[in-house]
Amino acid sequence: MEATGTDEVDKLKTKFISAWNNMKYSWVLKTKTYFSRNSPVLLLGKCYHFKYEDEDKTLPAESGCTIEDHVIAGNVEEFRKDFISRIWLTYREEFPQIEGSALTTDCGWGCTLRTGQMLLAQGLILHFLGRAWTWPDALNIENSDSESWTSHTVKKFTASFEASLSGEREFKTPTISLKETIGKYSDDHEMRNEVYHRKIISWFGDSPLALFGLHQLIEYGKKSGKKAGDWYGPAVVAHILRKAVEEARHPDLQGITIYVAQDCTVYNSDVIDKQSASMTSDNADDKAVIILVPVRLGGERTNTDYLEFVKGILSLEYCVGIIGGKPKQSYYFAGFQDDSLIYMDPHYCQSFVDVSIKDFPLEMSFRKMDPSCTIGFYCRNVQDFKRASEEITKMLKFSSKEKYPLFTFVNGHSRDYDFTSTTTNEEDLFSEDEKKQLKRFSTEEFVLL
């Protein structure tokens, strides 16, 4: 009887917190961001310059867009279409109760998990659809004349999209690959992309069965001492995403893996080993890899010396974004203009919607960015990784004003540098070394070089 009373108190407390967070985060959404026409805007490797919006020509060299073969001249609508095509995930409420808790919402505590989902989603879009892909229906969203969006407005915008996802719910069996699914419908390229897009989004649904949904990520987080309701730092989320991808049994995810850098170091041989891991019988190619590098961009505050490097990373087409921040101030950074970063904000709460649609970017001065973050980039195969490591190494050396760069690529394996190697217990998803790392990362303690 006493236990039942305690459960009722917990449920009442959860409802109160949910109501408070819903009121705090959902009623107003900022939608107006004004970009200068005199400077290029970069979004995950794509460059736009609104000054040349009415001119059908390649931008001049002095425009500031120096990404060869990837420049898009002017056209605000093309930028909007590109931005809207990125997957935006936010706080949610009224989803199935999280096991081991009374929580049916992540309002107030799940922001970094949401940003991690966005980063992984972009990696999967690159993997299955490529950077040139944009959502065909992106510009069909009606514009809102008001300064803010209410929950009703967002739901109206997402209603048709949510309905379209229902068609994917018949593909619940993990043994059915996307290639088999597509074959049942059409050989049309656009249809193929639509099916892939829907499937990627379904993997992030707020359901215990969704491969990369909040429920699954929290289960992996438990192995590092985290539980629902705790705040998850950017480094812990990087390791949780790695485990989620490693444990995914869907056939279409067997060709991609995640590597998390150790102590700001990427060990090239460790990455290549992961990419060359046993393939399925019908696929002898290298695995694609998403590299996640937890770093700090300064001490208590962000060091502006790192601005050019961050801009350089976001200028790469294979960048999948940067997640970072502290409790209630975590964001997904995807681009920049001048000294300001373009980001997506997970701090809004909507009911019954697994993924939101937005047509407004948000902008933040680099100085206001929290120094704790995780940088991500995607490599399709071993050769891509080798090229990326060389390119980023040059960028690190060029942008570093200090003796040591923000992070490094080194040849060999981590064990070659006297790292202790332990055997992972089959009943535990994290080894003892990983647990120690995650415990350290959970307090966001980094060695500042």
**Active-site positions?**
111, 345, 347
- What is the Cα–Cα distance from 56 to 259, expressed in whole angstroms? 41
3-class SS shares of the chain: helix, strand, coil, % to 5: 40, 15, 40
Residue 142 DSSP label: P
- What is the Cα–Cα distance from 118 to 334, expressed in whole angstroms? 10
Phi, psi of 195, rounded to the nearest 5 degrees: -65, -45
Residue 310 DSSP label: H
Comparing C-alpha atoms, which of 256, 261, 255, 254 is closest to residue 239? 261
Number of other CB atoms surrounding residue 159 within 10 Å = 12
| Integer-rounded Cα radius of gyration of the chain | 22
- What is the Cα–Cα distance from 368 to 30, expressed in whole angstroms? 18
Which two structure tokens, joined as six digits, stand for 101? Answer: 């808790």
- In 24-144, DSSP assigns E strands to 41-43, 46-49, 71-73, 91-93
Do residues 349 and 91 lie in contact, with contact meaning Cβ atoms separated by under 8 Å? yes
